[in-house]
Structure 1
Amino acid sequence: MGMIPGNSSQVVAPDNVPQSSQWVFRRNCSLTPKQLLQWYLSLCALTLIVATGFLLAGFWIVLPFAGLELLLVGTAFVVYARHAADYEMIELQRDQLLLVMSDGTKLTQLKWSPQWAKLSYNGKYKAPLLFSHRGQQVKIGKFIAEKDKSALHRELKAALARAACPV
């Protein structure tokens, strides 16, 4: 599951102190839901043309099986499209840590104080980055490649320390 990070950006104030940093992580999807729908409709048209040809030749049994095939492929595409736009976002400002997780139709937003937030990562395979804040814990990192998690952990830990103790 090769997931790639999205944009990592910083807004810098005139005194060269970062005002905010943002990390966005998304699935590595090759088709958007709209492109998937267009592809599926073209597949339906082609399949129904072929099935109609068989129907006209006297092989009526092909049409129900073509319909069943399109129903099953359509169901698989709906499941795929439902999660194609999932993402995780971390936004760190001087006075606020914002965590946003989108999973299907569920959107979770958490606003925490960077002074009380902690980040941990045990370095094991498939282990998530774990943010904790006053007893609440959130796992981040299902869209991050395993080889990038350690470096991201160091980067986020340093940014969290700078936000917690502004100079």
Structure 2
Amino acid sequence: MIPEGSSHMQYDDKNQTSAALPQRWVFKRNCALTPRQLLSWYLSLCALTLVIASGFAIMGFWIVLPFAGLELLLVGIAFVIYARHAADYEAIELRPGHLRLEWAHGSKLTEIEWPPQWTQLSYNGRYKAPLVISHRGQQVKMGKFIAEKDKSSLHLQIRAALARAAYSV
């Protein structure tokens, strides 16, 4: 969970909060390698494997080369599947009078904007339960990348920010 700007609250001289700045929460996968790092690692793996397999082929064990190629093909397919979803994320952005939800899954980016006055946030507290944001019959489930121990406090934090954004129009 990466709370971008969750502390973006300004304080005026009277020590009251002002919701003039947007608040944004971004939830991402916990990935060890970016797709670019993965590609460079895979290319180095290919080079090393082909050098070793070529050495065996030169010594007369030619059967090693096709199996090395098959191995690299299967590892490459697995890495493509991994890299396609490595950059997935969910984001919630609150501005005075606006709630914006966006999420990326693979190459698909979806965005929704709703007024916070008519938007509800619910969370039932069960294990693996999502945060449900609803507006006039539409429901969006978020929180796939949030640690279970953080969901309850995040629910309260976003709910309070949602109330502030709804009343600061």
TM-score, with normalisation over the residues of structure 2? Answer: 0.92
Measured in 2, the distance between the counterparts of 1:85 and 1:150 equals: 25
Alignment of 1:3-18 (within 5 A): 4-9=1-6, 10=8, 12=10, 16-18=17-19
Measured in 2, the distance between the counterparts of 1:6 and 1:76 equals: 30
Deviations 1:73-127 (Å, cap 9, x if unpaired)? Answer: 0000000000011111100011100000000011000000000100000000000
Work out the number of aligned pairs and report it: 164
Measured in 2, the distance between the counterparts of 1:17 and 1:24 equals: 21
Quote the residue 1:54 is aligned against. 56
Q: Which has the higher strand share?
A: 1
Quote the residue 1:88 is aligned against. 90
Q: Which of 14-23 and 89-98 deviates more?
A: 14-23
Q: 1:6 to 1:66 in 2, by over 3 A?
A: farther
Alignment of 1:86-125 (within 5 A): 86-125=88-127
**Aligned-residue CA RMSD in angstroms?**
1.5
Measured in 2, the distance between the counterparts of 1:8 and 1:44 equals: 41
Q: 1:77 to 1:162 in 2, by over 3 A?
A: same
Q: Which runs of 4+ in 1 moved over 2 A?
A: 4-9, 11-16
Measured in 1, the distance between the counterparts of 2:59 and 2:130 equals: 57
Point out where structure 2 has 5 or more consecutive residues left out of the alignment: none
Alpha-carbon shift at residue 14 of structure 1 (Å): 5.4
- What amino acid is aligned across from residue 7 of structure 1 in structure 2? E
Q: In the alignment, is the contact (CA less than 8 A) between 1:6 and 1:26 conserved in 2?
A: no
SS at match of 2:86: coil
Point out where structure 1 has 5 or more consecutive residues left out of the alignment: none
TM-score, with normalisation over the residues of structure 1? Answer: 0.93
Measured in 1, the distance between the counterparts of 2:35 and 2:101 equals: 25
SS at match of 1:48: helix
Alignment of 1:126-141 (within 5 A): 126-141=128-143
Q: In the alignment, is the contact (CA less than 8 A) between 1:7 and 1:24 conserved in 2?
A: yes
